[in-house]
Structure 1
Amino acid sequence: MTKTHMRRPLCLATLALSLAACAGSSTRGDPASMRGDDALMFSAQRTSLHRGDDDLLTAGLGLAGLQAMTPPTFADPERPLAVEARRRALWANWRGIADLAPGGGYGTLYGSLAAVPGREFHALATVPGASQPHRVLVQVPDGFDRTRRCIVVTASSGSRGIYGAIAVAGAWGLPKGCAVAYTDKGAGTDYFDTDAGIGIAADGTPSADRAQAVFAPAGAAQGVAFKHAHSGDNPEADWGRHVRQAAEFALQALGEAYPDDAPFDFDSTRVIAVGISNGGGAVLRAAELEGDWLDAVVAGEPSIHVDAPGARSLYDYTTEAALLMPCALLAVDNLPQPPLTAQVAPLWTARCASLRAASLVEGKDAAAQARSALEILRTQGWTDGALRAGALSAGFDLWRAIAATYASAYGRFDADAHPCGYRSAAQGPDGSPRPSTATERAAWWSDGSGIPPGAAVGLVDTRMDGADPLLPGLQCLRALNEGDDAAARRVQAGIAETKAGLPRAGLPVVVIHGADDGLIPIAFTSTPYVGWAQAAGRDVRLWQVANAQHFDGFLGLPDYAARYVPLLPYVYAALDRVDAHLDGSGVLPTDASISTTPRGAGKALDATHLAIPR
């Protein structure tokens, strides 16, 4: 079903106030009438031009600049300009999401890095009941097609900042003349130094004025607070509404950009939602919201939680992996490298011994204990492909960082009240907390991933003890998933708030997931979601991609490049298919298990490796 381009009367609203409903306007055409109690409030609005050597897509860096091993510098390392912070944020987010390495195919086989001039519209938005805002951003290219109005709305992957989906939505939508609307979905890199009282202003630069900080924690604390963990809002419960608010802000921004063509409304403007990882989960949550405002959804490797056979919550399988996977991987052959076996084997062997001492695994030696841990994970639904790819998360201690963050978020704990004693701070050589420096704070917004450790902010574990010092904290995190004390009940209540509903009837939804995803295993997320939605008669399709894991950005590592194919080409292909369907010139993808061919060592990626359905 294609969208008409008829324009309905729409009341004009001031920038700081919510859009007001007009008599006679339809639910489709007027965003105010379809959002129920989600009254919009946009603040800290600003507009910037990005042309010449500072375009929308790469801030003028192009492929060569994005491939540089060091980030763009600040003229004053302690006081970056907003334009410098933005350029560095784009560099960091491109590299964190896409495989830009030579031979990886980006910009030649798939994707575009051509300069796109245009304007950016920034603001903060708040959902009803939330104490902290989320960032929204709309990029309007100079080549916006005013005769074929389109918005691509997206949410950052992981806990990334506002540019966290630039390689997903921006790279596809901007060259096609679509406006692209982003949200950080209540996470992001608006860190706050509680010791110095310094946060991040709306333009991405440090500010000692607490009133100007995008995020400032309510309670007293020490170290560094960050929004995903310490907002007190459990932002994941509202990710769908965050996406919708970004789309509504895009309509407002287009009205400002092209006043002669106003009003822009959902009747006259195509809206496609796309995201990967947590962003994929966010657009699936948006798909369930009432109102005929979305035209299609494409979700890549989504973190999604449903009540269906095989489904597991992110917190459940993350805490399980953090505890057991280091030991279990000693019994898995042919692990991709890194992690470097010689470095992690002693640590993983110590984990096996500590698990045996806690009666969590069986066996008299490390080999038997590893086999016991592996059998537990397999029984819980982990595949060997997911375990091999998950070795990277185990080696980088990513499972623990995610679990500590989400325990705070789900339980709505203040920065100094984590039930397992975790906090975040800059750290000295011995791991002890220390004050952050002005140079470190200057790069937080650009370099951070939204979850420490990283960007000179570390994860402080106050329970470290014994031969396996991380174990006490990990056991505490796991107990929050399974226990019955007050802290556990708070975390479990927060997890329950994140369960997804069915997408709107008739809304086309395409889910793409790597069969070897080791961070968000398909068996716990996409497979049960799609089966549940299809059984309810919803228009949901699944592409399962063989030899694809979670992180395209890690395909720059030679062993990963040899073993795995990128997932982004399939996301772009699904967007192409959906867009053609909405134009009436193509059909939607059908369910498919896509057989790919890894390129092997030292070879460049080509189309035969990908086998994208046509």
Structure 2
Amino acid sequence: MPVSKGNAEMFQQPRATGHREHDDLLTGGLGLAGLRSMLPPTFADVERPTPAELRRRALWSNWRGIADLAPGGGYGTLYGSVANVPGREFSALATLAGAQQPHRVLLQLPDGFDARNRCVVVAASSGSRGIYGAIAVAGAWGLPRGCAVVYTDKGAGSDYYDLDARQGVMADGTLGGAEAALAFEPSPTAGSGVAYKHAHSQDNPEADWGRHVKQAADFALSTLNEQLPAQAPFTFANTRVIAVGISNGGGAVLRAAELDGGWLDAVVAGEPSVLAEGAGARSLYDYGTEAALLMPCALPQLGIPETPGLALKCAALAARGVLVGETHDAQQKDALAKLHAAGWSDASLRSGAISVAFDLWRAVAVGYASAYGRYSHDAHPCGYRYAALNPDSSPRAATAAERAAWVADASGIPPGAGVGIIDPQPMADMGLGGLQCLRGLWTGQGTDAQRVRKGVDETRAAPPRAGLPVVVIHGTDDGLVPPVFSSAPYVSMAKAAGRDVRYWQVRNAQHFDAFLGLPHMAAAYLPLLPYVYEALDRVEAYLDGKGALPADAVIATVPRMGKPLAAENLAMPH
């Protein structure tokens, strides 16, 4: 199934593949049972997996990273779909004007595409995930109803580069060396360890997330025109385009909403990481570096058990002047008071504990400092780098099997998939020197701090285009992207500008549906994806003239408390 020359001129390395019967678009033939499996799909040759094997494993890991698929969680029964959807995929590497590195775009065209009711769903991956990072968000809603779904990794993704082996990822997911055209190749390529696109592209991709989404939509229409010539032309005037994303993907579609041209018909953004003007607005880098330093010491004051060695860490922060207090209890109280004063709620702090447990705050701070400052892999201002790790956390070269699986297994930002963060300070420092350096890139006045803050400022959002329907959904207990710093200021800004933005605030919902498989999380929290799907349903009905846009709502959910999820738990607005 060749892609025409015209499309190849617009996008590099276009590929087309068919996916039917036991290899469908939505789950790669795994179905709900296969996605629930604790073991990933295997490779016949672990050092040389095929593109098809990598795709199936990437689908497995991205579904499990986003959705609550656990029995009793309601996925596939109460909400959501894992239907077997046959069709074709078309992918390419697309480059924005002025960018050094490409972003991946991928169109899923179901065999049941309804050319009479032309529908394209455009989505950006959440977090730093690869091209299938929004499959559980956009694909699960759009593909079963006959929409084409197009994705972008928005300049991030899991195209890691092994600096020791001088190998990166090609368009089909397999590895290539210096002679190959790669999805990401750092500059310089010399060095040791691992480089990855979000941090080391030197493009500050977040500043262009809206343009990435628009270019993906352009790719969708171009491909539809080539593949369905009898129904062509497909244009923004005759094809409905709905943008949807969660987390960073939610921020990306809100940035796309700013763009002129009438190309978008509606936007749904779940738990968006977005920086707006207005009271309370804070950047992820600002509150993330704050959380990395203070949150571990504050959490025991909320009844969360202490981590080993916490007393030493809090005392060291007090000795460095970060905390005050002569006792461990006083230091904890000071940490909590500082977070409260900065706008953190107890609910966000409690759910933020899981980000402490998984080292997410440090991961975000280290990687985003490089991205915002446009630093190369060997020039981190605080001395961090990345590598495969020995059991004692010392760096080593990656094995062939490890790097072959990165594109499928990695979340796009280490630590994970065998790649860890190399701290610039000795272990006796407990990592505090590095964390203080990262915080200083926000609070300090040096050249590097100015460089990072300039990069953050480039990501600031503007109001959406006038007349564009926008629905924002956010969990009130979100501990990774607290709504008080992101959605609430954005919605206020947009409404002050006279824009049509609707806002659902979901009680007892935090940031990670996938963590609801943990019993203590499932007992306390509800998934957010049902509300994203419902908002898409409401938007579709509105565009069809069959219903109104959802009204603003604070949704009073009812926690499951260990029972299977039921409709009354969700308390979906009527």
Under a length normalisation based on structure 1, what TM-score does the superposition of the two structures give?
0.92
Q: Distance in 2 between matches of 1:350 and 1:385?
A: 26
Match of 1:80 among 23, 42, 49: 49
Alignment of 1:507-546 (within 5 A): 507-546=468-507
- What secondary structure sits across from 2:120 in the alignment? strand
Alignment of 1:9-408 (within 5 A): 14-17=6-9, 41-219=10-188, 220-333=190-303, 335=304, 341=305, 344-408=306-370
Residue 544 of structure 2 corresponds to residue 608 of structure 1: no
Q: How many residues align?
A: 570
Deviations 1:254-286 (A, max 9, x none): 112211111110011000000000000000000
Displacement after TM superposition at 1:221 (Å): 2.5
Q: Distance in 1 between matches of 2:426 and 2:450?
A: 24
Residue 535 of structure 2 corresponds to residue 574 of structure 1: yes
Amino acid in the other structure paired with 2:200: H
Q: Distance in 2 between matches of 1:584 and 1:270?
A: 13
Displacement after TM superposition at 1:307 (Å): 1.5
Q: Distance in 2 between matches of 1:128 and 1:484?
A: 31
Match of 1:553 among 514, 535, 538: 514
* Contact 2:7-2:223 at 8 Å conserved across structures: no
* Contact 1:191-1:225 at 8 Å conserved across structures: yes
* Contact 1:199-1:216 at 8 Å conserved across structures: yes
* Contact 1:210-1:216 at 8 Å conserved across structures: no
Displacement after TM superposition at 1:122 (Å): 0.3
Displacement after TM superposition at 1:210 (Å): 4.5
Displacement after TM superposition at 1:209 (Å): 4.1
* Contact 1:116-1:141 at 8 Å conserved across structures: yes
Kindly report structure 1 stretches of 4+ aligned residues shifted beyond 4 Å. Answer: none
- What secondary structure sits across from 1:147 in the alignment? coil
Amino acid in the other structure paired with 2:512: F
* Contact 2:170-2:180 at 8 Å conserved across structures: no
Q: Distance in 1 between matches of 2:294 and 2:310?
A: 9
Unaligned runs of 5+ in 1: 1-11, 18-40, 336-340
Alignment of 1:422-501 (within 5 A): 422-466=384-428, 468-501=429-462
Deviations 1:579-606 (A, max 9, x none): 00000001001110000000002x1000
Q: Distance in 1 between matches of 2:400 and 2:39?
A: 19
| Higher mean displacement: 471-480 or 358-367 | 358-367
Deviations 1:356-399 (A, max 9, x none): 11122221111111011000000100000000000000111110
Q: Distance in 2 between matches of 1:257 and 1:573?
A: 31
- What secondary structure sits across from 1:74 in the alignment? coil
* Contact 2:474-2:506 at 8 Å conserved across structures: yes
Displacement after TM superposition at 1:464 (Å): 3.2
Aligned to 1:35: none
> Cα gap change, 1:400/1:210 in structure 2, threshold over 3 Å: closer, same or farther?
farther
* Contact 2:109-2:149 at 8 Å conserved across structures: yes
Amino acid in the other structure paired with 1:535: A
Amino acid in the other structure paired with 1:162: I
Alignment RMSD (CA, Å): 1.0
Deviations 1:476-522 (A, max 9, x none): 00000011111111101100100001100010000000000000000
Amino acid in the other structure paired with 2:349: L
Amino acid in the other structure paired with 1:565: L
- What secondary structure sits across from 2:308 in the alignment? helix
* Contact 1:194-1:221 at 8 Å conserved across structures: yes
Q: Distance in 1 between matches of 2:507 and 2:119?
A: 32
Amino acid in the other structure paired with 2:8: A
Aligned to 1:3: none
